[in-house]
Amino acid sequence: MENLTGTDAPDRGAGTGTLAPPRKFTIRSKFGQARKPRSRKNRPCDACRRRKTACVITSEPPCLFCKSRGLVCQSLSDPDALALASRANTQSVAPSSSSPQSPSISAISPSASESNPQRAESAAVVHDGLVRQSGPGPVGQESVASAGVDSPMQDPADEIVHTLEDVPDKTTHAMGLAAEQDPYFLDAFRSLLLSEREGIDASFVQVYPGGQDPDDHPIHFLLLQDEFPAHKNQAKQAASDAIETFIWPHGPALVRLYFRHVHSAFPVISKGRFLRQYLTAKLDIPSSLRGAVYALACVFWRKDPSLEGPCPFQQHDLTNHAQESLRRELESPNLWRLQAALLLMHMVPPDIDSVETPYTWIMASQATAAAQMIGLHQDPVKWNIAPWEKKLRRKLWWATYFTDCWSAVCHGNPPHIAADTFTTPPPDLEDLRSDEDLPLDLHHMVDPCNTSFRVPDGVRFLEMINIARDTRVILDCSCGVKATVQTRTQLIPIRDKLREWPSLVPNCLAVGPNTSNGPLHLSYYATHVLLFRGLMYPATKAAKANPSSNLRRWLSTALAEFDNFTTFMAYITENELTSFWGRHARSQLILCGNFLIYLFLLATEPRDVEAAYRLLEKFHLSLQRLGATEDIAAKVLLRPVILRIESFFIQATELIKTGRTVESPVLYKEKMNVEVVQATSSRASQIKDIISP
């Protein structure tokens, strides 16, 4: 290859006195040998030349940059390399031989996925640290080539979209304004981070170049090489082996159970993507996520006729290994591992618990940190990533938000996610529909009813998010450390909205014998508890004695509206009770049960006292009926609220008469039966006698 690298001094023409054309001298440059930066005898590869970055070849191609990206390292200006590329057209997106200039390998278009999604979802090859996706979604992805040298060239900005996931041995971390480098500086100058071994440890990739507004800044991710000490890799491998050993040969049956019972209620997994990976290379799914799926599914072992006998392993055995693996996997968080973090907090708690432990709160903080680390708190609508990933990122962010909100309620902690720290909009039904319709070759992995998107499941999840958003407003207005009388005035519009909710939800979300809407309605009533506690604040003796206090003003209204809650509990069937409720349901039941006691003890008017007591009796009868179940998970769900209600009935008479704390009684079953189960009419007369002066 002849390259112009300089000129000689000009000569005068013989006998003419004019300047002769300058003489050219050339240096023959080659490609394919060891090359140092700025070498003139050895050409850089096309990728480094277009990027204008150092092309370092230690002995032979690929250079350090192409090696780190999985790219074909070549210089197509070299005739030998061009001939080689024409024979290897399945390894790289190569330019046409007639094209004098090929587009940059690292081109990232901010609008490719929005302007032409069908053309954009073409091939899948590792591309500047990102992955080009094929097909209509994440199902069926494989790293294959898309075009040969004879195919017509298209601008990559029109052809290619990228994903921040699935880069082999790498993860991407969001770089915010307080990151190690300014986003505008990175937009103008991006470099690689080279290690002592002359390898690329990390690089920056841009998914959005920014807008005209200075505050609409470029968005970058740090693409980091996943390298861990041998002992950590060994520990993760040991956890993976242990999980698969425990469940063998029941893995496929457990996956089917998971998508039948858990996914419909809490759809955080990308169904088609997970099943495709499980079918082709299940060990590439993080151990924590496989363990979480198996562990949640084993609770429903007896609901699968094909599984004979009792479950041969315990849920906590799988959970322990999954947690151990997740602890190490979160050093390189991604969407898979976030899904595991969200699921692992919903394991069946120990049957000795009478109060909720901090477990859910700690796990929620872990999931929140992982979500923020991979940038889910930022709106991806303008990013140059695949449409399916935008949808999944929105869904997972709001699943994290929902989790953070209800975990905070458990102990009254301030949520981890502040209202002004995210821009991600709520998902819509199309986001929930994404990757739910399975191709035919995956149908055998799930039940027939789970092969396609079910609208009621999607609508239910959206309503759970909406209720969590209302709950969060209530927490900010009335339950925060800076809550005041002024902030609590904002509760009135929330009350109007919640009061209309039952009449506005679609029929598919109504309470019924064959629905799975119990957890949704329970969260609605738990939100109502927080609302009324804020409206009735402060619940003091002085407020109880003052007819114009907030407590007295709202108490009768709360009693009337919570009659619906006790009716809801009376409608719950054994079948619905033994479905998937999630870990937050225990805290929500405790909230509702305690609120009935709260209303009874704070009531002053005889009619309010009697109304509150009737609600308690009705609720208690429902708990007795439901508590007779043989399902272990259901018993653990009900146990804390049953203990509180039965303790109240045992201690109520003495508590009201003496106005002091009752000494801890021994709760014998016989005593509970004598003190608790009596006719409603006699109970009402007893209460009137107790409260009479």
Question: 444 with 489, same domain?
Answer: no
User: Is residue 571 one of the residues assigned to a domain?
Assistant: yes
Q: Collect all residues with Cβ–Cβ distance below 8 Å to 183 and sequence separation of at least 6.
A: 175, 177, 210, 217, 218, 219, 220
User: Is residue 526 one of the residues assigned to a domain?
Assistant: yes
User: Is residue 2 one of the residues assigned to a domain?
Assistant: yes
Question: 542 with 686, same domain?
Answer: yes
More confident residue, 616 or 178: 616
C-alpha span between 645 and 359 (Å, rounded)? 24
pLDDT value of position 32: 67
pLDDT value of position 119: 29
pTM listed for this prediction: 0.77
Tell me the per-residue pLDDT of 415-431, one tens digit each, with 9 for 90 and over: 999 999 999 999 999 99
C-alpha span between 242 and 250 (Å, rounded)? 14
Question: 336 with 402, same domain?
Answer: yes
pLDDT value of position 159: 37
Q: Among 88, 111, 143, give the residue marking a domain's end.
A: 88
Six-digit token pair at 630?
A: 């043989």
Taking each helix axis as running N to C, give the angle between helix 632-658 and helix 606-627, from 0 to 180 degrees, rounded to the nearest 10.
150
Tell me the per-residue pLDDT of 614-672, one tens digit each, with 9 for 90 and over: 999 999 999 999 999 999 999 999 999 999 999 998 887 666 666 544 444 443 334 43
Tell whether the model's pLDDT for residue 584 goes beyond 80: yes
Mean pLDDT estimate for the chain? 80
Antiparallel, parallel or unpaired: β 200-208 and 192-194: antiparallel
Question: 289 with 424, same domain?
Answer: yes
Tell me the per-residue pLDDT of 244-279, one tens digit each, with 9 for 90 and over: 999 999 999 999 999 999 999 999 999 999 999 999
Question: Where is average pLDDT lowest: 85-99, 199-213, 360-374?
Answer: 85-99
* Number of CB atoms found within 10 A of residue 414's CB: 13
Tell whether the model's pLDDT for residue 146 goes beyond 50: no
Question: 274 with 419, same domain?
Answer: yes
Residue 523 half-sphere exposure toward CB, CA atoms < 13 A:
27
User: Is residue 398 one of the residues assigned to a domain?
Assistant: yes
User: Is residue 137 one of the residues assigned to a domain?
Assistant: no
Question: 276 with 417, same domain?
Answer: yes
Question: 71 with 211, same domain?
Answer: no
pLDDT classification of 353: cutoffs 50, 70, 90: confident
Taking each helix axis as running N to C, give the angle between helix 550-571 and helix 584-602, from 0 to 180 degrees, rounded to the nearest 10.
130
* Number of CB atoms found within 10 A of residue 609's CB: 22
User: Is residue 232 one of the residues assigned to a domain?
Assistant: no
Question: 175 with 64, same domain?
Answer: no
Single-letter code of the amino acid located at 407: S
C-alpha span between 437 and 393 (Å, rounded)? 18
How many angstroms from the chain centroid is the CA of residue 13? 77
Question: 566 with 519, same domain?
Answer: yes
pLDDT value of position 19: 53
Taking each helix axis as running N to C, give the angle between helix 550-571 and helix 518-535, from 0 to 180 degrees, rounded to the nearest 10.
170
pLDDT classification of 229: cutoffs 50, 70, 90: confident
pLDDT value of position 140: 43
Q: 147 vs 86, 94, 96, 108, 161, CA distance in Å?
A: 11, 7, 10, 19, 15
User: Is residue 101 one of the residues assigned to a domain?
Assistant: no
Question: 414 with 538, same domain?
Answer: no
Stretch 186-197: mean pLDDT: 67
pLDDT value of position 113: 36
Tell me the per-residue pLDDT of 234-243, one tens digit each, with 9 for 90 and over: 999 999 999 9
pLDDT value of position 689: 52
Stretch 62-87: mean pLDDT: 63
* Contact by Cβ (8 Å): 153, 376: no
Q: What is the residue range of 24's domain?
A: 1-88
Q: Which residues pair with 174 in a beta bridge?
A: 221
Q: Collect all residues with Cβ–Cβ distance below 8 Å to 90 and sequence separation of at least 6.
A: 144, 145, 148
C-alpha span between 639 and 618 (Å, rounded)? 17
C-alpha span between 270 and 434 (Å, rounded)? 8
Question: 217 with 278, same domain?
Answer: no
* Contact by Cβ (8 Å): 124, 133: yes
- Of 4-8, 112-116, 516-520, highest mean pLDDT: 516-520
pLDDT value of position 599: 97
* Contact by Cβ (8 Å): 462, 427: yes
C-alpha span between 659 and 653 (Å, rounded)? 10
Stretch 137-144: mean pLDDT: 41
User: Is residue 160 one of the residues assigned to a domain?
Assistant: no
pLDDT classification of 530: cutoffs 50, 70, 90: very high
pLDDT value of position 155: 43
Given the structure tokens 């006699």, which residue do they identify?
682
Q: For a pLDDT cut of 90, what percent of the chain falls above it?
A: 56
Q: Among 47, 72, 88, give the residue marking a domain's end.
A: 88
pLDDT value of position 182: 84
More confident residue, 80 or 474: 474
Q: Among 448, 468, 492, give the residue marking a domain's end.
A: 448
Stretch 369-394: mean pLDDT: 96
Q: Collect all residues with Cβ–Cβ distance below 8 Å to 496 and sequence separation of at least 6.
A: none
Question: What is the count of structural domains for the chain?
Answer: 4
* Contact by Cβ (8 Å): 599, 560: no
Question: Where is average pLDDT lowest: 134-148, 328-342, 436-450, 673-687?
Answer: 134-148
C-alpha torsion sign, points 128, 134, 139, 140 = negative
* Contact by Cβ (8 Å): 293, 346: no
Question: 508 with 650, same domain?
Answer: yes
Report, in angstroms and rounded to the nearest whole number, the Rg of the chain calculated over CA atoms.
32
Six-digit token pair at 335?
A: 């969407």
